Structure 1
Amino acid sequence: MCTESELQLENKLIKQLVDMGYEKVHITNEEQLIANLKSRLEKHNKFVFSDSEFSKILNELRKGSIIEKAQKLREKYSLIRDDGTVKYIEFLDVVNWCQNLFQVTHQISQEGKYKNRYDITLLINGFPLVQIELKKRGLEIKEAFNQVNRYQRHSFGFNSALFNYVQIFVISNGVNTKYYANNKKQSFKQTFYWADENNKLMTNLAQFTKYFLEKCHISKMICKYIVISEVEKCMMVLRPYQYYAVEKIIDRVKNSNKNGYIWHTTGSGKTLTSFKAAQILVGLEEVDKVVFVVDRNDLDSQTNIEFNKFVEGSVDSTDNTKILVDQFLGKYKDKKGTHKTTDLIVTTIQKLNNAINKSRYLSSMETIKDKKIVFIFDECHRSQFGLTHKNITKFFTNCQLIGFTGTPILEENATVNQYGKRTTVELFDERLHKYVITDAISDGNVLKFAIEYIQTFKEKDTDSDEQVENIDTQEVYESDERISKVVDYIIANHSRKTHSKKFNAIFCVGGSKKSTDVLIKYYEQFKAKKHDLKVATIFSFSANEDDKDANGINEEGVDIDPKNINVHTREKLDEYIEDFNKMFNTKHSTKDSKSFQAYYNDISKKTKRREIDILLVVNMFLTGFDSKTINTIYVDKNLKYHGLIQAFSRTNRILDETKSHGNVVCFRNLKPNTDEAIALFSNKEAEDVILMKPYHEYIKDINEQYEELNQIAQKPDDINTLVTDEERLEFIKAFRNMIRTMNILTGFTDFDWQDVKIPAQLYEDFKSKYYDLYDDVRSTKDEASKVSILKEISFDLELIQRDEITISYILQLLAKSQESATQQEQKDKQDKILKDIANTPQLRSKKELIRKFMETAMQGLSPEAIEDAYDEFMEQERQKEVSQLVADEKLKTDALKNLIDNYLYEERKPRNQEVVDILEIKPTLKERKSVVERVFGKVQDLVERFYK
């Protein structure tokens, strides 16, 4: 039976869309697209444009970036008519989204840098707002994603640039179908499946089309559920569970006075969900204020920053309780003295509690206590189980509470305080939507965990740490000898766990009595040992130091206050902050709460930037802290229930292909607690979904993959005999599977090349051939001809980049090679160095330069002189090549330097005019395109070899 072709898939999809009410139109080029736009806008606006009037509209539509066009699409345009009057033109009805006009067409050709022809285009009011790219069944869906990227570079933005108005892309191979917003920064990891309300995925194209591409639904997604980030300059579209959560919240507020909560697992994009819900709520007539409440000062400022990234000035956080009261009363003025009516407020639970309890604010707050105020509580599992919740619900007579949590308090994990044993359901009523960790992992929205339990001691009559714990927890777990061994383990294995420090880690510790004493012991051990790790620490006041069970509840949401730290602890903290100051040239201290908060914020920022390798904590940063660069958590404390899931979830944010999972390294036997927490927050059968496979299974996988590779090529030279693209593609896919498995395997402490059938050197040799194929595919310039199938394949090069192979490392090896006893030994070591360079993408462009240095400038040098000699050699070579480039292409030297400086600083390709500006002789219009491409190609090559 023949596989369904791409054309058959396309025809079936068009028929389905027509049956769903889309009007089929025949548009094959830009001229027809523009004519259709005119007629649709006329029909939508019930107004006929003259040619000159429509020309004004087209001129307006051509202007701006993708983000500016997205904003323009949602606004009305004031058209000055031929008779001088003004007519407001609506491009898209964002309120009555079903009233827009829907069409489908296919195979539109667009001339740009290269000529492209697009598969299926959905037109709304004549604008191409949804672009669908298909691949035949059996091909990777990522090939369609790569094809869209090529269109974005080569043709979407040319001529009228109407395809820059695309809001949503859909990619499918019939079996798998995904969608994503028009964002040039998009990675394939940020493409989504649609699902029903119960999180059942709709991957099949026909089913996806029935629900997601239904006219009213796709229009609603575009009009209501795309967020335009004004700061990040990108568009984001809600994922299905975010969509259902917001819809449920809006329905709850419009049609009921009951509370409700959203259970969305940690890492699933709660900030975007809550912002979109808040943004819609403030627009409802029945709502007076929306208040987003967090339980820590750092989350107050963090949320404020995140919300204002979506829409600048959309929200004001509260520096103090007085400002909060002014915001409630509509009297708030910003720092410039400008009066601001604030409908969306971000504040801490402490300031909110002060506003309704302090006598100096009560008379003012009494005036708004009966207003309809919606409170959205962030991380509501932590802060809603004490007196503050009772105070809020008693004071505001017409309020509604909406909670967000990744780990709700259920009967099984509820703790008893003075108010009893209370659950999230008791406090927030009905659960409005549920999206648990198993859903998120299955959807590819968060990563699995790889958990390793490291046994740190063993008594002669016991089998596990758990049994020993009952003898004397404090004496055994907190002994100097054991802590020293744990630190030695981390120092030895941190590079392996974090892919040569491409990622970083949190280390959480605890004790049976006073957790900060244990943390101090650990910090002192790191300080005393020799290593290259940047370790920083921060800890809170004494009230949270006794943390045996790490339940993650902050009952009254007490702010960080260094006054509460006991003398010994505070002295140590000051000492460690001084270490931080020396490391980063800062001036932090604990002199007051504001200074301490600045230290907290700086640690947060530097952790996210990977400037800190290991962040040592007791409780802080284990909940509410999101950093995609963290891939490992070391655990030496008791964790259970939501405290355990929250802590582990610091590691499983999606970043790139290299980050395949989150590492959890437990120095205590937390397996029973882990199993119990997984069962509680997902289901009893969830382990296979949440946890990575054991080491031996990945060994089995890679050995089977090696057998498959042997069917294609038994030795690297066999790759040379692969003639067709199809044969090469087989090799690329087979070896790529091995690369992906090896990326996981090398993170295991137990990894040993002896366990793998393929020898390490043979693996490296195959890797060289893999790189050669990549270089060959990317160097093909003939885009105008039929595109090679290899151009759309993802090579996953990031998985085999060896971050430890740097110029500094190479120079050290070269210095050591000079110490060899014989010339032959020197040559062998230097040949090995060249092979390492060839296998390192970021150094491949420098390979011939380094070879030339070894052959001409290094002979007879002492090891100590090599680094200086290399710098001098590279500078001489750079000057030669710059002079040659200037002479060959007749360039302006200073202008070339400025172009390179800007290219390096802004990390963007120069505009064509910027390249033309460095030419002494300006090309003709006909020559311009080829000259710009040739010159910039040479500049790019120069930068790769000498400036990076």
Structure 2
Amino acid sequence: MKVFNEDTRVKIPATIQFLRLGYNYQSLKTDDVDIDFNTKIFVNRFKPALEKINGRALSYDEIKVILSDINTTIKSNDLGKSFYNWLINPLDKIKLIDLENIDNNDFAVVDELPFNIIEGTEEDSFRPDINILINGMPLAFLEVKKPNNEGGIQKEFERMINKRLKVKEYKKFFNLIQIVSFSNNMEYEEADDAEDVKAGSFYTTPNGMNTNFSFFREDDYSYHEKYNYKEISQSKIEYVMTDCGYKKKEASTDEFKENLSIYSPCNKFVTSLFDKSRLLYLLKYGIMFINGKIPQRHIMRYPQFFATQKIIERFANGGKGGIIWHTQGSGKTALAAFSNKVIREYFSKQNITTRFFFVVDRLDLLMQASSEFNNRGLSVINCNSKAEFTKELNKSLSSNISSKSIGEICVVNIQKFEGNMPEAKNDYNANVQRIFFIDEAHRSYKSTGEFFKNLMTCDRDAIYIALTGTPLLSKKERSNLKFGDYIHKYFYDKSIADGYTLRIKKENIDTVARAEIKRNLELEDDADINDKAVFESDPYIQALGKYIENDFINFRLQNSDNTIGGMIVCRTNPQATKIHQWFEENSKLNTGLVITEKDDPKQREMNKNNQLNFRDTNKPDLLVVNLMLTTGYDVKRLKKMYLLRGPHAQSLLQTISRVNRPYKSPTGKVYKYGYIVDFVDIEKEYDRTIEAYIKELEDDLNENGEDEGSLSGLVIDKEDINRKYQKYVSDLDNIIDTDNLEKFSKRLMQYNKDTLLT
């Protein structure tokens, strides 16, 4: 009888895929295997690898001392930060990995390595399916499941967190392990949000109870076809099969050969994530430790991974920057932090010193960016005046990097630099390359404006990397004509599918509510409710206040969650001030007013306090704003917006995206949507804006074989459904091959999935 299980369908084929990538196979049964119990390091691979890397012989006594040092280091209660720092920057310690010369390292895989607590027993242990060894050290693993496993991939995530990461005795092993991955050998499926996805391949870095699992979608659609795979002999495949406890003949079944394909979902994932050069790149550049109330360890999201590589590719081809088009909420500030080390080391190899500047156009964004960079381990210099900026601009060397920091960055508020900007000077012929990251590059930088001109001329040899989720596409202003071509694109459709942002539900003010507001205003039927005299009037403010108060209280009651916050986006500062006053005088809900008042230092201080309090506490309940905080303000608890004015084009997407951050309440409720209450009918402007972005993405869509349906929405008309139905009828007329169980399983799986979709 054929063996048709998880091992033969996924684990062993994936193991062979690693061998195709140039990994060696490490058996647990050979006579020379020598595993250090405390660290699970394979001494038989560790010793010769370290000798090669460090260029000298090492006695077994020296190896024992190194292993003991590693064991002590991974016991630290620091999420593995001490060991990670040793890996990538050994300083006075012995080098464990050669991150510059891939071939100097020993790459291997071993199946079912037990991470046990008590020596000589497998009780109280976990055994990842495939362990990735670099120089004998188990630095990553891949857990596999058969397709359509019970509970799907989410069940495996829960098991990892609750049964492994929670176990105190396993903590040191997860301080050693850098990358954890899962696959049930299925393509990613469409779902309302990433929390519902039950199929696919995912990766993470162990982050304690805050561990989240990310998609890894290949950016280069011809990557697998172009890959130079190593040919693996049938005898080697049979050896792996028997070493895993199966008969040699199982390696010749049709089902096994089907899953041995380099293009199976799991095998493609193995190639994309664990290619040797990519794996070392992720280890060197892709992991960061975040300071905060709860220390965390983060790994690059795949769009950040590809974007950082595209930046270097742009430099290598003679480019001087360009645009990173990553949708709102996808982590552009984090991308700048990751890029800092990547870019710095690229130029360092050319004996060029780099200075980094992060340019914002609002004080609140300066504070937000500075805090995030500081938490990520960068030394931060805030330039609050032209004199401070001049001083930093003309420095040839960084002077603010402490021994604990991973780099330096100057955060600059462009609004401080009206008039002539300072011009960079390189003293003593210093070889300096300045890198400017322009945050929210769709704002404040009109091509005919002073800010743009001054910024681009303060250092004519600088590199400018513009960051935006909504590039300007109008005839008068196009972002790519100002800052250069797109370096990398990541639009909202993928961000939603990946769980980094949420879909937004739009609620129109229904006829009854509109009539009630008009009745309260005692207006004639043909009166213009959009007239300034009306929407700033006391009766209108009162009617509006009552409506928002009742609606927001009900919103919290429906969700049984008083931690969620809201935002009222007003037409004018006077309207915002009146709405805030109404709530102060008439409502139990607490509001915070955030508006621009240049000549009112008291209001500026209130703005700052309200922003910070709303982000860090559950008060105020609602923020009342006009132009401020409608871009760049990222607060997860902000889940409902009352839109009283209609922004245009990219401003519209920026504004409504304030409510699109994933949020899990203290009670455990996970929000799948952000919500806006539309008082101004944004539908036409929204459709027009999305159409413009789809056109801008046209080349990417055609190249990747996608159609615009994935971008324009989830609406499928009757003709689409009918075409799908006819295709299923035609397919069912074909003969299903029941001799090959794998093909049969895939056909049934596809029918079942598509039937549900229709």
TM-score by length of 1: 0.59
- Whether contact under 8 Å (1:537, 1:616) holds in the other structure is yes
Superposed displacement of residue 494, structure 1? 1.1
User: Does residue 195 in structure 1 map to residue 218 in structure 2?
Assistant: yes
Superposed displacement of residue 659, structure 1? 1.1
- Whether contact under 8 Å (1:458, 1:468) holds in the other structure is no
Superposed displacement of residue 435, structure 1? 1.0
User: Does residue 225 in structure 1 map to residue 286 in structure 2?
Assistant: yes
* Deviations, residues 120-156 of structure 1 (Å, cap 9, x unaligned): 1001111111111122221211222233322233376
* Deviations, residues 445-464 of structure 1 (Å, cap 9, x unaligned): 21000000114535999xxx
- Whether contact under 8 Å (1:623, 1:650) holds in the other structure is yes
Distance 1:374 1:423 in 2: 22
* Deviations, residues 504-534 of structure 1 (Å, cap 9, x unaligned): 1111010xxxx112112322322332x4311
What pairs with 1:161-560 in structure 2 (closer than 5 Å)?
161-175=172-186, 176-188=200-212, 190-197=213-220, 204-229=265-290, 233-283=295-345, 284-285=347-348, 286-313=352-379, 315-330=380-395, 344-351=409-416, 356-357=420-421, 372-385=433-446, 386-411=449-474, 421-455=476-510, 456-457=513-514, 473-498=531-556, 499=559, 500-510=561-571, 515-529=572-586, 531-541=587-597
Superposed displacement of residue 106, structure 1? 1.0
- Whether contact under 8 Å (1:168, 1:180) holds in the other structure is yes
The SS at the match of 1:195 is: coil
* Deviations, residues 416-468 of structure 1 (Å, cap 9, x unaligned): xxxxx22112101211111111121122221000000114535999xxx9x96
What pairs with 1:790-809 in structure 2 (closer than 5 Å)?
none
The SS at the match of 1:122 is: strand
What pairs with 1:623-638 in structure 2 (closer than 5 Å)?
623-638=631-646
What pairs with 1:451-850 in structure 2 (closer than 5 Å)?
451-455=506-510, 456-457=513-514, 473-498=531-556, 499=559, 500-510=561-571, 515-529=572-586, 531-541=587-597, 561=598, 563=599, 590-591=601-602, 597-608=604-615, 609-656=617-664, 658-682=670-694
What's 1:67 paired with?
Answer: 81
Equivalences, count:
610
Distance 1:448 1:337 in 2: 41
Q: Report the CA distance shift for 1:154/1:525 in structure 2 as closer, same or farther (over 3 A).
A: closer
* Deviations, residues 827-876 of structure 1 (Å, cap 9, x unaligned): xxxxxxxxxxxxxxxxxxxxxxxxxxxxxxxxxxxxxxxxxxxxxxxxxx
Letter in 2 for 1:319: N
Superposed displacement of residue 666, structure 1? 1.1
Higher relative contact order, chain-length normalized (CA < 8 Å, sep 6+): 2
Distance 2:460 2:711 in 1: 44
Letter in 2 for 1:537: L
- Whether contact under 8 Å (1:250, 1:277) holds in the other structure is no
* Deviations, residues 140-176 of structure 1 (Å, cap 9, x unaligned): 1122223332223337637xx4553111111111111
Q: Report the CA distance shift for 1:216/1:525 in structure 2 as closer, same or farther (over 3 A).
A: same
Superposed displacement of residue 312, structure 1? 4.5
The SS at the match of 2:210 is: coil
* Deviations, residues 448-490 of structure 1 (Å, cap 9, x unaligned): 00000114535999xxx9x968686334544443432322222
Letter in 2 for 1:24: Y
What's 1:40 paired with?
Answer: 49
After superposition, the CA RMSD in angstroms is 3.7
Distance 2:416 2:426 in 1: 13
* Deviations, residues 4-28 of structure 1 (Å, cap 9, x unaligned): 5222211111111112211000238
Letter in 1 for 2:217: W
- Whether contact under 8 Å (1:436, 1:681) holds in the other structure is no
What's 1:157 paired with?
Answer: 170
Gaps of 5+ in 1: 79-87, 415-420, 542-560, 564-569, 571-589, 695-948
Distance 1:293 1:133 in 2: 42
* Deviations, residues 65-98 of structure 1 (Å, cap 9, x unaligned): 31222112223264xxxxxxxxx52112233345
* Deviations, residues 562-600 of structure 1 (Å, cap 9, x unaligned): x2xxxxxx5xxxxxxxxxxxxxxxxxxx25xxxx55433
* Deviations, residues 885-922 of structure 1 (Å, cap 9, x unaligned): xxxxxxxxxxxxxxxxxxxxxxxxxxxxxxxxxxxxxx
What's 2:106 paired with?
Answer: 101
What's 1:820 paired with?
Answer: none
- Whether contact under 8 Å (2:356, 2:409) holds in the other structure is yes
Q: Report the CA distance shift for 1:368/1:302 in structure 2 as closer, same or farther (over 3 A).
A: farther
The SS at the match of 2:128 is: strand
Q: Report the CA distance shift for 1:387/1:365 in structure 2 as closer, same or farther (over 3 A).
A: farther
- Whether contact under 8 Å (1:156, 1:164) holds in the other structure is no
Distance 1:437 1:377 in 2: 20
TM-score by length of 2: 0.73
Distance 2:98 2:136 in 1: 13
Letter in 2 for 1:184: G
Superposed displacement of residue 344, structure 1? 2.9
Letter in 2 for 1:167: Q
What's 1:867 paired with?
Answer: none
Q: Report the CA distance shift for 1:25/1:245 in structure 2 as closer, same or farther (over 3 A).
A: same
Letter in 1 for 2:682: L
Name which of structure 1's ranges 300-309 and 329-338 shifts more when overlaid on structure 2. Answer: 329-338
What's 1:6 paired with?
Answer: 6
Superposed displacement of residue 371, structure 1? 5.2
Q: Over alpha carbons, which structure has the higher Rg? A: 1
User: Does residue 110 in structure 1 map to residue 110 in structure 2?
Assistant: no
Distance 2:339 2:634 in 1: 20
Q: Report the CA distance shift for 1:280/1:528 in structure 2 as closer, same or farther (over 3 A).
A: same
Letter in 2 for 1:643: S
The SS at the match of 1:157 is: helix
Letter in 1 for 2:340: A
Distance 2:505 2:406 in 1: 49
Q: Report the CA distance shift for 1:162/1:374 in structure 2 as closer, same or farther (over 3 A).
A: same
Distance 2:302 2:117 in 1: 35
What's 1:827 paired with?
Answer: none
Superposed displacement of residue 334, structure 1? 8.7
- Whether contact under 8 Å (1:194, 1:239) holds in the other structure is no
Distance 2:528 2:710 in 1: 31
- Whether contact under 8 Å (1:229, 1:235) holds in the other structure is yes
What's 2:753 paired with?
Answer: none
The SS at the match of 1:650 is: helix
Gaps of 5+ in 2: 30-34, 119-123, 187-199, 225-262, 699-706, 717-758
Q: Report the CA distance shift for 1:348/1:536 in structure 2 as closer, same or farther (over 3 A).
A: same
The SS at the match of 2:114 is: strand
Superposed displacement of residue 682, structure 1? 4.2
- Whether contact under 8 Å (2:593, 2:625) holds in the other structure is yes
Superposed displacement of residue 44, structure 1? 3.4
**Between the two proteins, what is the percent identity of the paired residues?**
23
